[in-house]
Amino acid sequence: MTFELTPSQTVGPYFAIGLPWDAGPHAVAPGTPGAITIAGVVYDGAGEPVPDHLLEFWQPDTDGRFADLHGHGGGSELAGFRGFARCGAEVGDGSFELVTVKPGPVPAPASVGGGQQAPHIDVSVFARGMLHRCVTRIYFADESDANAHDLVLSHVPAERRATLLAQADGGDAYRFDIRLQGAGETVFFSI
């Protein structure tokens, strides 16, 4: 017997009383060698910052292994690696900052031809005014060789691929803005 899905509803404006927690923006333990930050702002279709957004990030460690609930894919051996982060903004400037490590490459499924996927982070975007999450991926502009061979990126219209690239921003910092609508609209995926 199969059952039917429970529908999505908006996260609303008041999720901050329940969802964020202090260490939420950290996908790695404090002091993890090679940690990076990825910072940015979420913008709406008028180019205004979205002050009440909730972002979630999911990724493997630098070896391409996940801290999966069931150990799928071998399991990360990086101490304190969670691979999941949650940034719940309640700030007027719509900004977020994720602390993590750069993900390693992971395999692509045989159904799409196999091989390796370029390093990437899956992102869920929630906000008041969004009745369902939007899903995007963060790739890295400084991984141009891997990106050139990534099957998912190859199916994104070439002129829009740059919206998925985190840009090096000095030291261990990267920059990744999310535009929900309009000029430079971020590529969102149907999953």
Q: Which amino acid is at 3?
A: F
- Give residues with Cβ within 8 angstroms of 118, minimum separation 6: 105, 139, 140, 143, 146, 147, 149, 150, 153
Q: Which of 37, 95, 128, 141 binds another protein (CB under 8 A)?
A: 128
Answer for which of 91, 112, 148, 162 binds another protein (CB under 8 A) is 112
Q: Which of 25, 40, 83, 94 binds another protein (CB under 8 A)?
A: 83
Whole-angstrom CA distances from 95 to 38, 150, 181 are 11, 29, 17
Stretch that binds another protein, among 32-40, 92-100, 150-158, 165-173 (CB under 8 A): 150-158
Site for another protein in 53-82 (CB under 8 A): 56, 58-60, 66-73, 82
Report the alpha-carbon distance of residue 9 to residue 22 in Å, rounded: 25
The site map against another protein for 90-109 (x = CB under 8 A) is ----------------xxxx
Contact between 142 and another protein (CB under 8 A)? no
Q: Rank residues 169 and 185 by Cβ distance to another protein and give the closer one.
A: 185
Tell me the three state secondary structure of residue 97: strand
Please state the closest distance from residue 39 (CB atom) to another protein, in A: 21
Q: Pattern of binders to another protein over 6-35, x per CB under 8 A?
A: xxxxxxxxxxxxxx-x-x------------
Q: From the CB of 50, what's the least distance to another protein, in Å?
A: 7
Least Å distance, CB 24 to another protein, is: 9
Report the distance separating Cα 83 and Cα 91, nearest Å: 24
Angle, vertex CA 108, rays to CA 191 and CA 28, nearest 5: 80
For residues 162 and 138, what is the distance between their CA atoms, to the nearest angstrom? 10
